[in-house]
Structure 1
Amino acid sequence: MTSAPPASDSRTFRRAFADLRDGARQRELWGHLAWQDIKQRYRRSVLGPLWITLSMGITALGLGLLYSQLFGAEIATFLPYITTGFIVWNFILGCLTEGTDTFIANEGLIKHLPAPLSVYVLRTVWRQSIMLAHNLIIYFLVIAIFWGSVTTPGYSITEGGVPQPGLNWSVLLAIPAFVLVAINAGWVVLLFGIASTRFRDIPQVVTSLINLLFFMTPIVWSTDILKDKFGESAGWRDLVAELNPLYHFIQLVRAPLIGNEQSWHHWAVVGAFTIVGWALALLVMRNYRARVSYWV
């Protein structure tokens, strides 16, 4: 009786984990590539990467002034809310949209450079992290201008909204919160990147849904508005935010940055997505890692 042939060594979790480990070790490679991406994008520009910050500032200021009037909110508390929401949203947006093209855009390197696939994932996440760091300049500027308002205990985002504790040392929670969001960005880029090499419609689908996701997520509006309009028992309307995973990711980082009360359930939801997301990404990587170079 002949025994069954052994499974292909390229389709094992051991190879998948080895790819991630080897990719993390080559930080000089993906770090350099990420910096080159940003330099190339703003080549021969007078302001260079500062255009990232300027664009963010103009957008946040314009929408902050508009929506604060529409919702009857104080600009001193609403503008920091919108600004931090935009900063985190842009990071997530970049990982979603550019993540779907991660391997497609690196076709030449994948076919000619013997590097782990995770190098290109880390390149994308690190590039978005650098852009987020640029945008934090706007955050510090807005907080400095409205320092008195956001540090006052009991302030609210909108009139009659939930009282907030105000900016304090809990702002340091934004650091582990962002690390957790960045870890999730890794599986998003890996999973969507591999899937997009096989099914080229995925980038278009993601791009088409971006605007809907933006307006359905509490970025330019607050959950306080639902309670103000429909009362404490907003019913199914509360689910508009609570069933939106992006809300939990954004609020996880935004809340400590502007002195809002941090709810434990945001950590629980994001933690659950971390476990499930990486499990799916590793499964896909185990099965299709070796085919990416052919699909691109």
Structure 2
Amino acid sequence: MNDDAIPARPTASGSRTLRRAFGDLNAGLRNRELWLHLGWQDIKQRYRRSVLGPLWITVATGVTAVAMGLLYGELFGMDIKVFLPYVTLGFIFWNFIQASILDGSVVFSTNEGLIKQIPAPVSVHVYRVVWRQLIIFAHNIVIYAIVFAIFPQPLNWTALLVFPAIVLFVLNGLWVTIVFGILSTRFRDIGQLLTTAVQLVFFMTPIIWTTTSLHNTTGQTSSRLKLVELNPMFHYIEIARGPLLGEPVEFYHWAIVLGCTAVGWLMAILVMRNYRARVSYWV
């Protein structure tokens, strides 16, 4: 038998390539009409037959932020004019982070029927989650506008830095949804672990408390503050909250967030390359 007649065995699956991974991301981006519609429908469905509708997003976040701000401001002896805007912004940006992680981890398992019925790129569901979080963020930022009108902050041109911060939040929301969404579809316990971890990280992040309370009586940086800086969420909150409070944000906060974003996207591309094609079988 002629050896030339024997076809060569493929050394790797054709679907497990970087080109296919990037192709999925690009195809999903081009299908923006689909994920824009699905993301908005998620919001409408959640508040279906409600009198206020999506405005409940603003009401719920506003009540929580104001209640926490007043309570912990009284407990810590903080000036409410400064502390309430601080807590409000902390809650608004934390909600974006928390929802991106938790909603992203179940995005595929909760959309099993849609994934099996509609031949769409996997990334469509990723963009859908982040778009939904942007809609919720737009509702919640109204709370800060109201608080700012009551307690004006010393804003300057650095307030514009909130826009690159939001871009970084979106980029991180995308890779978080890809990584945790795909892995949680295969290993369902990951979603439960993330729920517990996010709750713990909330109390470890300066949202309802301030870093100034961790300084020594001499004004020097304490070891407790150094531990807080090991928490990546601290830096994410700082780059977004600082500009809207008129506070300078040190460059190292941006550097850490940029580093986390780069590492996260490397993980996302690897996960997309290796496991993207298996999502429809795992759901």
TM-score (norm 2): 0.95
CA distance in 2 between partners of 1:285 and 1:229 (Å): 50
CA distance in 2 between partners of 1:4 and 1:50 (Å): 58
CA distance in 2 between partners of 1:227 and 1:244 (Å): 17
Q: Post-superposition shift, 1:228?
A: 5.0
Deviations 1:85-141 (A, max 9, x none): 000000001001111101111111111111110000000000011001000110100
Q: Post-superposition shift, 1:71?
A: 1.4
Q: Post-superposition shift, 1:231?
A: 3.9
Partner of 1:158: none
Partner of 1:285: 272
RMSD: 1.4
Query: Which of 241, 244, 259 in structure 1 is aligned with 2:246?
Result: 259
Is structure 2 residue 122 aligned with structure 1 residue 135?
Answer: no
For the residue of structure 1 that corresponds to 2:160, the secondary structure is helix
Query: Which of 79, 87, 99 in structure 2 is aligned with 1:82?
Result: 87
Partner of 2:113: 108
Is structure 2 residue 67 aligned with structure 1 residue 62?
Answer: yes
Partner of 2:177: 189
CA distance in 1 between partners of 2:35 and 2:221 (Å): 49
Deviations 1:4-49 (A, max 9, x none): 6242210000000000001111111000000000000000100001
Is structure 2 residue 28 aligned with structure 1 residue 23?
Answer: yes
What is the letter of the counterpart of residue 93 of structure 1? Q
TM-score (norm 1): 0.91
For the residue of structure 1 that corresponds to 2:108, the secondary structure is helix
Q: 1:183-262 counterparts in 2 under 5 A?
A: 183-227=171-215, 231-235=219-223, 237-262=224-249
Contact 2:216 2:222 in 1 (8 A): no
CA distance in 2 between partners of 1:65 and 1:274 (Å): 34
For the residue of structure 2 that corresponds to 1:106, the secondary structure is helix
CA distance in 2 between partners of 1:34 and 1:233 (Å): 44
Q: Which runs of 5+ in 1 are unaligned?
A: 152-166
What is the letter of the counterpart of residue 72 of structure 2? Y
CA distance in 2 between partners of 1:105 and 1:230 (Å): 53
CA distance in 1 between partners of 2:11 and 2:65 (Å): 57
Contact 1:216 1:240 in 2 (8 A): no
Partner of 1:168: 156
Aligned residue pairs: how many? 278
Partner of 2:103: 98
What is the letter of the counterpart of residue 252 of structure 1? I
CA distance in 1 between partners of 2:218 and 2:129 (Å): 41
What is the letter of the counterpart of residue 170 of structure 1? T
Contact 1:80 1:142 in 2 (8 A): yes
CA distance in 2 between partners of 1:33 and 1:50 (Å): 19
Runs of 4+ in 1 over 6 A off after TM superposition: none
CA distance in 1 between partners of 2:22 and 2:214 (Å): 44
The alpha-carbon distance between structure 1 residues 145 and 270, as it changes in their structure 2 partners (threshold 3 A), is same
Share of identical aligned residues, percent?
58
Q: Post-superposition shift, 1:180?
A: 0.8
Contact 1:111 1:293 in 2 (8 A): yes
Partner of 2:262: 275
Q: Which runs of 5+ in 2 are unaligned?
A: none
CA distance in 1 between partners of 2:9 and 2:214 (Å): 60
Is structure 2 residue 128 aligned with structure 1 residue 123?
Answer: yes
Q: Post-superposition shift, 1:230?
A: 7.4
The alpha-carbon distance between structure 1 residues 229 and 204, as it changes in their structure 2 partners (threshold 3 A), is farther
Deviations 1:196-228 (A, max 9, x none): 011010111111222211100010011111015
The alpha-carbon distance between structure 1 residues 8 and 216, as it changes in their structure 2 partners (threshold 3 A), is same
Partner of 2:166: 178
